Structure 1
Amino acid sequence: MMNNSRAMDNFSDAFIKNFTTIALGVIINYINGTFVYIFFKSHIFYSDPRYILYIHLVINDMIMLSFAVMLQVITYALPYGLNMFVCCMMLVITSTTNRNSPLNLAGMAIERYIAVCKPLHHIQICTVRRTYILICLIWSVAVIPALSDIIIVLATKPFTIFSIGVLCYNNAVYGSPYHEATSTAVHIVNLSFVFLTLFVTYFKVLFAAKAAITDPASARKARNTILLHGVQLLFCMLGYITPLTNMILLSLFPNKRTTILFSNFLFTNVLPRLLSPVIYGLRDQKFAKYMRVYYSCKQYDIQIKPTEVQVN
């Protein structure tokens, strides 16, 4: 997306945009990295399927954000484009992690449904081993469309294309009608499955609370969490409607092309990566408790500095 605006940016505009992107990427990854650090430092987290799925979502967002920022910077740094093979590998990672997010949200919603509606079976169903199997399944399902894009390129273009330089973004590399049809079908199936999962689990939890077969407070918290999953899904969908919003905004403000493209890039690829720690980490009492301990210890370490003792 940002590649289209490169030629229209002067040096100062390009510097400001890249600096903003890198700064936001570093800040967001630092915040997410703090949650990852706390997760692996506390055994109560990595033995709980709920937190395993959550931290997988955070790590997935960190990977996606890192590669999105790299592609943004590379677009400006390499005027003749990136090697086609390297570009395809990077696009495989970005597209896979992008598809992982909604699938992971569906898994988290199902886990909450089982915890609230089938509490006696939760320990048997939601084991650590099965959680990691689910994560492997998510990656397997998400990577198939990304690999199929490369297969379509191999089938429709000469092999020598992998040695040339290209502007590294999806529409430039995967612009054939076959890619468009495949991408549209995958997006529809993926998002429909996740939306249906969130819809069903939310109302299952709602009816369970009304029937008084579960703890009302626990059910209310689970419903709120699933609703927040829905909010995150909407942000995931923003990336799919970006071409439409770009077309509408560019027709209304043709002189603001680079600003529109850059703003859409931030709102669809960068800023949503901050949602996971804000929505889940800070709302969760355990994570919030360990977060306070972590930062209080950091502050304590900064305040206490060793002093040199001079011996006469």
Structure 2
Amino acid sequence: MEDIGHTVRELSHALPLCVELEIFGPRQGHVDFLRMPLDAEVSLAVSTITDPTDDTFGFQIGFKRIFLDVSTKGCRIAKDGRYKRSVPKEEFKLLLKRNLEEKSVIQRERRGEIGANIQGILKFLKISASMKGGREKSKTDASSDVQETEFSLYLVQRIAGMRWEIGHETLGDPLQVDGLLRGSYLSPPSDGNTKGDYTPLCYLEAEVAKRYSATIEIRAATKDCVYLPVVDGEDAHKLLEEKTTQIERILAIKALQKQNRKDGFDPPDDEIILARGEISFYRKTISGNENDGK
């Protein structure tokens, strides 16, 4: 009699307070060794980083977009069952309306201007917006009705190269005012499913009879790394502040790349590895030992 065993290994977490990767084993009762779910969760937050040796140096770091790279050994990704999740149209419109009307958002924008991320969202939906006297008004372009606009905006989608993209290329997470990724992104059901349905990232199809594995890497392009300096009070020397920001941002990215090299990874110059984990599946006998069969 055979049973299925699995092992999960956390290989690296460069920013554990900002980006978290969890990989889960199959649900109890799964008996098909030749087709196993690759189930994971990715959670993000905006994290504050300070230098314990220099209390004047600190910054917040977040991401507008990340990638999940999946590499396999002894198996392949099945063509069906690949996770994807779009932004619910009605929920998005309600959140957009709330964000545009929220005074705390409007007041922190200079001269009453709407934030760049909201402007990008409005442009994407073909909405024009203006604000006068501390209040905001919006209307659709003559050629477009928001209620009937064709809407296709993915928070999570499979792209080429065994990759999943989390966050929109230009908008980041459009459900957040600043576009930064926050919260968990793989827990809600994949498109076409309902709450309670089991929707892993994908399914793995075995190409060998004994043991196979998959590795997940969370990567981010350096351009999607958003750095926010921690500044107390008004800085009268704006030019100096901008230069300091630029220097500190480079230092932040270099620190992540240094951590990657320390962990034994050598990512491209324009990307950083934020987390890495691996899961292996194997057949075992009733005694619990790994089956030596081919």
What TM bracket, shorter-length normalisation? under 0.3
Which has the bigger relative contact order, CA under 8 A and spacing at least 6? 2
TM-score (ref. length: structure 1) = 0.22
Higher helix fraction (1 or 2): 1
If each structure's strand is expressed as a fraction of its own residues, which one has the higher value? Answer: 2
Could you tell me the TM-score, scaled by structure 2's length? 0.23
